[in-house]
Structure 1
Amino acid sequence: MFNFGWGILFVLVHFMLFLLCYRKFGKHGLYAWIGIATVLANIQVTKTIEMFGFVMTLGNTMYGTIYLTTDLLNEKYGEKEARKAVWFGFFTLIMSTVIMQMALIFQPQAEDIAQEHLEIIFGLMPRLVAASLLAYFTSQFLDVRLFALLRKWFPKPNQLWIRNNGSTCVSQLIDTLVFCTVAFAGVYSFDVWWQILLTTYLIKFVISVASTPVIYIARRFQFPEDDRRANEAG
């Protein structure tokens, strides 16, 4: 039960920090969040925990906020800005992987205490990043496109929950299938792999639904750049 209670606090902290990041830094804060979230999610996913008798990985909450971010960008700034954010996340993944793989090659000093631990965390990164990039590309661009389509069919402001949850639930299913297959097939037994697949999607689904009030709150934040964009559109 500890993991469940701590997990609720974990999710709330993510949402609060997301809102704070956007409130303080505006659209630039959303891009910064994408960059940080793509890196942290791929580090956290190396840790497995147990909850209600199921094995699951960390990183799902942080990764789920990426969809929240791109949906908010799509909602307030348009599909073009959301796509730019997806590409920015791709760049941060590539950049962090290249730099950390090069850092591991340096010969550590005799009394160094970090190399072994860095190898455990970042030594797994190439396969995880390959899985993440493939899943990220297919699911994020799908999410951006689905959100734009749903906005045409459900354009009213109070229908944001349909746009947000509809696009995210479909794209996250694709993301989970691709990522878990590439990252964990053959690493864990089929039993454990299936549990990770199932719990990963369920957690992402719950995070998506739970984030609905967050995106409504964030949409109400106003910045000078929003006024300029509205004037240009007018």
Structure 2
Amino acid sequence: MKKTVSVLFMFAGILFAICLLISNILATKIILIGSWAAPAGVLIFPIAYIINDVIVEVWGYQKARLIIWSGFAVNIMAVLFFTLALVVPAAPFWQNQEAFATILGSTPRIIAASLLAYLTGSFLNAFVMSKVKILMKGKDFSVRAILSTLIGEAADSFIFIIIAFAGNLPFNVLIGMIFTQATIKTIYEIVILPFTILVVNWVKKVEGVDTFDESVSYNPFSINQI
């Protein structure tokens, strides 16, 4: 029996991967939001968490797991090809190698921190969203979305900043950066929440599904359930 492929699910997965790629490139610039300093990736990265919430809410944890690992694979591919482009000799007349390396070149430590933080935060976000939906019998999407994002973003920010910058920055600065990133990302979720609710309700109506993960395996590495 053939499985039907949801166009909306495919679109959500593509948009998720796009947000990840753009946020990683933007993260090379530090911006000021009010008096808070943060990587420019915070402008778009929270959208990936919102998409994660929508996927879990509509299609369930299994589909979110598929998208999270797909996003991870996209990130790995991007890193490999960015690295290849950096090491291939530049044309003699091209004078922008240093600028190119600044934008697309990252140290192994930064890359490892980013990938580990992404996996941990994304899976935590999906797990909390799925579990709390069951506990709350599908009610109060707003509460569930904010709670899952807060936990996922806090874990993501903590892991990334500690691994990437511990030993190079004072402890109080690290804590401040963790708090700033997690707070900005959660506020982002709250501000855009009315739109997210509209999207969730519309997708549920179009797809005709509202998944409850009653018997799903929450093992991130499970490949038996897709």
TM range (shorter): 0.7 to 0.9
- Provide closer, same or farther for how the CA distance between residues 160 and 114 of structure 1 changes in structure 2, counting only shifts above 3 A: same
Q: Which SS does the other structure have where 2:194 is aligned?
A: helix
Deviations 1:47-74 (A, max 9, x none): 1122333322211131111111111011
CA contact (8 A) 1:42 1:129 kept: no
Cα distance, 1:207 vs structure 2: 1.0
Corresponding residue for residue 189 of structure 2: 208
The letter of the residue matching 1:129 is I
2: CA distance between counterparts of 1:49 and 1:195?
A: 15
Q: Which structure has more RCO (C-alpha within 8 Å, separation ≥ 6)? A: 2
CA contact (8 A) 2:58 2:210 kept: no
Corresponding residue for residue 217 of structure 2: none
CA contact (8 A) 2:29 2:39 kept: yes
Q: How many residues align?
A: 205
Corresponding residue for residue 3 of structure 1: none
Corresponding residue for residue 108 of structure 1: 90
Corresponding residue for residue 178 of structure 2: 197
Corresponding residue for residue 51 of structure 2: 69
Superposition RMSD on alpha carbons, in Å? Answer: 2.3
Unaligned runs of 5+ in 1: 1-24
Q: Which SS does the other structure have where 1:50 is aligned?
A: strand
Q: Which SS does the other structure have where 1:213 is aligned?
A: helix
1: CA distance between counterparts of 2:159 and 2:129?
A: 20
The letter of the residue matching 1:181 is I
Deviations 1:43-101 (A, max 9, x none): 11111122333322211131111111111011111111111111111011100001110
The letter of the residue matching 1:221 is W
- Provide closer, same or farther for how the CA distance between residues 51 and 62 of structure 1 changes in structure 2, counting only shifts above 3 A: closer
Corresponding residue for residue 164 of structure 2: 183
Corresponding residue for residue 23 of structure 2: 41
1: CA distance between counterparts of 2:128 and 2:203?
A: 25
- Does residue 124 of structure 2 align to residue 142 of structure 1? yes
The letter of the residue matching 1:130 is A
1: CA distance between counterparts of 2:127 and 2:73?
A: 20
Cα distance, 1:156 vs structure 2: 3.6
2: CA distance between counterparts of 1:193 and 1:53?
A: 16
CA contact (8 A) 2:38 2:181 kept: yes
Q: Which SS does the other structure have where 2:95 is aligned?
A: coil
- TM-score, normalised by the number of residues in structure 2: 0.82
Cα distance, 1:126 vs structure 2: 3.6
CA contact (8 A) 2:58 2:203 kept: no
The letter of the residue matching 2:186 is F
- TM-score, normalised by the number of residues in structure 1: 0.79
CA contact (8 A) 1:55 1:195 kept: no
Cα distance, 1:138 vs structure 2: 1.3
Corresponding residue for residue 220 of structure 1: 201
CA contact (8 A) 1:86 1:140 kept: yes
Corresponding residue for residue 136 of structure 2: 154
Unaligned runs of 5+ in 2: 1-6, 212-226
Q: Which structure is higher in helix share?
A: 1
Corresponding residue for residue 10 of structure 1: none
